[in-house]
Structure 1
Amino acid sequence: MKKAMAIVLSVLLLAVVVSACGKGNNESASSAPASSAPASSAAASPSSDPAQDISGTITFLTNRTDMIDKEYVDYAKRFNEKYPNAHVEFEAVTDLDKTTKVRLSSGEYPDVVLIPTIPNSDLPKYFAPLDDLGLNDKIYFKDYKSFDGKLYGISAGATTTGIVYNKKAFADAGITSVPKTLDEFYAAAEKLKQKGIVPLASNFKDQWPLYPWASEVAIAISGDANLTNERLNSDTPYTLDNPYGKSLQIIRTLYEKGYLEPDVNSTNWEQSKKDIASGKFAMYMLGNWVIPQVIGAGTTSDNVGFFPLPYDNSGKTNALLAPDWGYGVNKNSEHAETAKAFVKWMLEDSGFDNFAGFIPVLKDRKPEMAQLSEFNGYNPTMIEGAIDSEDTTAVVNKAQIVKEAMVQDFVLAKDPQKVLDQYNKKWADAKKALGK
């Protein structure tokens, strides 16, 4: 197991962004102590104690709605203990990428944000360099949110994607070992269905949990880290017989065979975690970040397992290694140094890595989650995901392609080929308009 984990850590270099989680309503919470005096916007005078120079109240925009009024309260308290003149407040939103882009375009965005999907060349427009934190040589994904030799964002952690499962549900259905082939995976799903257990929670209506089927699984099938960028070489990047089509056909098959929720249009993210924890649902196809949330929803760690998705019948699997959202500091923040101190504190002192189930982004730290050891024990080949090029990002944005919406359209379509034709046309038209 130690050898397998070492392999995982050795390939953490750079990757694409994936992940996110949330619940129904936007929420915000102030975590500065009620008795504290209002923070001054004036810069503090230098002192012999650097901690005294970190001052003011900052706001962090996050997608972790489930941590509002809970863990974030503790984070704010501990950050204030280290920096007595500083306070942090938290604002949580569900549609992080869209919301943050709107806020950036308006010029009104918080001191610390999770950087949305914008070209790296745009980073200097909005964010302050983080090179002065002294972390450049200590982190993985150093080039993930960098431009022109400067570091503008640091990943909150690293993830890999696979099948998170309830071990008791598997045992109750008579499944004695995890499936190693796609046929075995479908057979296990059928056993679960016959036992009255929903085989896989897709959270179809919420849309965002469908992301692996449009990116991670396709990259794993292809074995090509640069698959997303290679779409630029074609006017028809989505076909039934290429990695994208093969991935989409797996979830469509799960839907057609009744292996997803009985009504995919009335799913609920927060409830699904409880259903996985209780064994009412058996599996997720998501990143390792969801494992602590399932445990927190009402089960024990030893009841939750994690294995690579067997996307074909070869008995061998690839798995993508990717960074999570990257912390960025508003270049116009009145308390930029405090915001930077908070980013460093989140990485070094908060404990968010373990809480979120991440592989730490700091090179000298090892993941503590047992499920990652199980995952690595199945010997997947880890693929270092590539950053989307600026040309790829430009075409995606011009075409207004939402990959999770494509999954929904494909699964529900009477003729899935027509769905691919529609997205290929969007892609080709955008390429032509941009001269790519």
Structure 2
Amino acid sequence: MFGLATTMSLSMVLSACGSGNNNNNSSASATTPASAAATDSASASAKPAGDGSDIKGTVTFLTNRTDMIGKEYDEYVKRFNEKYPNIKVEFEGSQTDYNQQMKVRMASGELPDLMFIPTIPNSDLPKYFAPLDDMGMNDQITFKDFKSFDGKLYGITSGNSTSGIVYNKKAFAAAGITEVPKTWDEFLAACDKLKQKGIIPLASNFKDKWPLNNWVYDVPRLIENNPDFPNTKLNTDTPFTADNGYGKAFSLLRELNEKGYLEKDINSTNWEQSKKDIASGKFAMYFLGNWVINQVIGAGAASEDIGFFPLPIDNSGKLKAALSPDYFYAINKDSKNLEATKAFLKWMLTDSGFEDFAGFISPLKDKESSLAQLKEFQATGVEMQEGTPDNAQVMDIQNKAQIDIPAIIQEYVLAKDPQSVFDKWNTAWAKAKKQVLGQ
């Protein structure tokens, strides 16, 4: 499994000359002296000091962004080495399921210096990762408590997302839509205008399941006006009901399908093609995170033709959106290059510009986005709701019951009797809850 990760060296020690996209230049670079590595290891809690020229080491980063290797990452390292010329950075691109690959490597003790945290209990964080409190960023970062344990910080989000409607402005204009909808009824009316014009209103990518995540993780908590709503399942044997956040959110997607506002055959959708179809205006909208904006632009749309607004979930006219973290950076507690790795991580957060490239909201509280679409989104006066960490017991019960909420909404949308879907999974939940909690 480790052989599936491709290691590529993207910088030279003592220089920033990793020009071009040649990833086979690592043999030409000087190696870090053993004494320097030992010194780096000894300074586990030291902050990057001075101008950076005194910090030496090699940083290996296992990333899920394989598309950036040999491209944007090259440019990042050039700029990073202007400040830290004696730090070499290597990237490994995960070619398999990142979460599973990380768990295998954690079990084997073969971790890179820098990585993203897989789905593990926060109580396990100290087993694998180094505390990051000495980086001086605790007061600057969002979601500080998400990957903390026993008062110590172990993970920092790489970027934040909000979910909303990414739309093609030319498609809206062609359908005669002059203002973005602010209520659910207005949203349905806009969808109807698009359909009448021969434009598919919303690309759901229903078959792929993961594009439904915002419908099941964001919308229910917004409907309930409770960021901790997913954790309230612990207090009931019937978490899925027609009149709570899950039932109301699932019904919205079911209504869009019944009215013919999704793809004609929602069981044969294609993710990569959908980006091109949004870019061309064949499809009008996505309901996804802001991270997809740059991907649509990359698929051929002009930036000025792509907009972003909050999904209206009711007819109140009050717009809400969920703010959620993406993958969390973490540093291997056994890294021989802790000081160098912390220097690179801090640079990635403060100076790389990765959040703008990825279409994220910055993980730093006071850093404004340069993305025009996010400015448009925020100009609507939307209320942002920051999420809460998953309750460990809720996750244990959910896993025991084999509950996959995006799969449940797939069943619900297509079922002749939606209530029967809820009944089935409520039964599974109640049984697993009794087994896990012993009551």
TM-score bracket relative to the smaller structure: 0.7 to 0.9
- Offset, 1:89: 1.0
**Distance (Å, rounded) in 2 between the aligned partners of 1:49 and 1:308:** 43
In 1: Cα distance, 2:408 partner to 2:238 partner: 14
CA contact (8 A) 1:56 1:85 kept: yes
Aligned equivalents of 1:277, 1:328: Cα separation in 2: 35
Confirm or deny: 8 A CA contact 1:29 1:69 kept in the other structure: no
Q: Which has the higher contact order (CA 8 A, sep 6+)?
A: 1
Describe the shift of the 1:87–1:150 C-alpha distance in structure 2 as closer, same or farther (beyond 3 A). Answer: same
2:207–2:269 contact (8 Å) kept in structure 1: yes
The answer (yes or no) to whether the contact 1:61–1:110 under 8 Å persists in 2 is no
* Counterpart for residue 34 of structure 2: 42
Mapping 1:235-384, distance limit 5 Å: 235-384=237-386
d(CA) in 1 for partners of 2:201, 2:66: 26
Deviations 1:192-250 (A, max 9, x none): 12222221111223221210111101111111111011111111111122111111111
Structure 2, unpaired ranges of 5+:
12-24, 41-49
Counterparts of residues 25-424 of structure 1 (less than 5 Å) = 28=6, 30-33=8-11, 34-35=25-26, 36-37=28-29, 39-40=31-32, 42=34, 44=36, 50-62=52-64, 64-81=65-82, 82-93=84-95, 95-424=97-426
- After superposing the two structures, state which structure 1 stretch, 299-308 or 362-371, moved more: 362-371
By how many angstroms is 1:415 displaced?
2.4
Q: Deviations over 1:36-79 (max 9, x none)?
A: 337458351659975443312413232x3433443223234434
Distance verdict in 2 for CA 1:280–1:192, change over 3 Å = same
Residues 1:214 and 1:297: Cα distance change in structure 2 (over 3 Å): same
**Does structure 2 conserve the Cα–Cα contact (< 8 Å) formed by 1:399 and 1:429?**
yes
Task: Please give the alpha-carbon distance, in whole angstroms, between the structure 1 residues aligned to 2:400 and 2:30.
Answer: 44
TM-score normalised to the size of structure 1? 0.86
Asked if the contact 2:253–2:413 (Cα under 8 Å) also holds between the matched residues in 1, the reply is yes
Distance 1:72 1:27 in 2: 16
In structure 2, C-alpha distance between the alignment counterparts of 1:422 and 1:259, rounded to whole Å: 28
How many residues align structurally? 410
Q: Is the 8 A contact 1:29 1:68 kept in 2?
A: no
* Cα distance in 2 between the residues matched to 1:29 and 1:299: 33
Moved more, 422-431 or 151-160: 422-431
Residue 416 of structure 1 and its aligned partner are, at CA, apart by 2.0
Partners of 1:310 and 1:325 lie apart in 2 by 27
CA RMSD of aligned residues (A): 2.4
2: CA distance between counterparts of 1:270 and 1:66? 14
3-state DSSP class of the match of 2:206?
coil
Equivalent position SS for 1:72:
helix
Given that 2:356 and 2:370 are in contact with CA atoms closer than 8 Å, whether structure 1 keeps it comes out as yes
**8 Å CA contact retained: 2:59, 2:341:** no
Using the alignment, how far apart are the partners of 1:100 and 1:410 within structure 2?
33
Aligned pair in 2 of structure 1 residues 201, 50: CA closer, same or farther (>3 Å)? Answer: same
SS of corresponding position for 1:53: coil
Q: Distance in 2 between the 1:218 and 1:205 partners?
A: 21
- Mapped to 1, the partners of 2:398 and 2:379 lie a distance apart of 36
| CA 1:110–1:355: 2 relative to 1, 3 Å | same
Larger radius of gyration: 2
2:16 matched residue in structure 1:
none
Structure 2 counterpart of 1:66, one-letter code? D
8 A contact 2:10–2:89 mirrored in 1: yes
C-alpha distance after superposition, 1:64-116 (max 9, x if no partner): 34334432232344344534341221313564334433443444443322212
Q: C-alpha offsets along residues 326-376 of structure 1, whole Å, 9 cap, x if unaligned?
A: 111122334333332222121012111211222212233212222222222
Quote the Cα distance in structure 2 between the aligned partners of 1:56 and 1:84: 9
- Deviation by residue 1:298-349 (Cα, 9 ceiling, x = unmatched): 1222211111111122222321122222111122334333332222121012
